[in-house]
Amino acid sequence: MLESILFCVLPYMLTIDNLQDYVECRQDSKKIEYVADWMPTVSTYFKDEDIKQALLVIYCESRGKPDAVGVNKDKTKDIGLWQFNDNTWKWLSPKLNITSKRTNPKVSTAVASWLVYNDGWHHWDSSKHCWDA
């Protein structure tokens, strides 16, 4: 991950061919810097190659605020770093023996990694425009 971020700071050779990648990388780097405090937690639960994407999802979903709350049109709430929906949390709680609140960053990150490695990143498709350049 460090290597990809370093490219943004010091590109090997900036050309017209890699200019768009450089711009996107700089934008991603700013998002990652904004939520960098969560890197130790994310690196505990995600593989090295997935840390960058996990941090981007956190940024795009909650801006790194573990107590973030979003209210949906159907009156359900999305809560925490990963913005787990009421229905998703209700479904996962008995399945994974979760007794913690969604605002617990370690628990929600562990649950997010379980979802990613068992079902993919599509659970955060509503913010994909932000984290998937």
Model pLDDT for residues 10-61, shown as the tens digit of each residue: 555 666 676 566 666 667 788 888 899 999 999 999 999 999 899 999 999 9
Residue ranges per domain, the chain?
2-131
Q: SS3 for 108?
A: helix
Q: Using alpha carbons only, what angle is made at residue 126 by residues 116 and 62, rounded to the nearest 5 degrees?
A: 80
| Residue with the larger pLDDT of the pair 78 and 11 | 78
CATH class of 2-131: mainly alpha
Backbone region of residue 39 per phi and psi (left: phi > 0; alpha: psi in -120 to 50; beta: other values):
alpha
Q: Three-class SS string for 50-89?
A: HHHHHHHHHHHHHCCCCCCEEECCCCCEEECCCCEEHHHH
